[in-house]
Amino acid sequence: MILWKGGPTPMAKLAEATLRDRSTVTRLVDRLIRKAYVERKAAPKDRRQVIISVSDKGEAIRPG
């Protein structure tokens, strides 16, 4: 829901918004990537930062 509403989001912000530690969020995101619902990319200005965004397949299951 966070990605659908807010668009591409840094991994650290996802952890903060979900009140989970970064390793837990990484595992969850990895599962969503394997299912092709989200994509992981390096931030254009700071390649150390990881940005997570909803894929086309993820948009297809968006509620409402």
Q: Which domain holds residue 25?
A: 2-60
The total number of structural domains that make up the chain: 1
The conformation of residue 54, written as its DSSP 8-state character, comes to E
Q: Which tokens in the block code for residue 46?
A: 């700071």
pLDDT at 47: 85
Q: For residue range 18-57, what is the model confidence (pLDDT) as tens digits? A: 999 999 999 999 999 999 999 999 998 888 899 999 999 9
> Residue 30 sits in a domain of what CATH number?
1.10.10.10
What pLDDT score was predicted for residue 31?
Answer: 98
3-state secondary structure of 38: strand
What is the pTM (predicted TM-score) of this model? 0.88
Tell me: pLDDT of 64 over 90. no
Model confidence at 10: pLDDT above 90: yes
Measured distance CA(56)–CA(24) in Å, rounded: 24
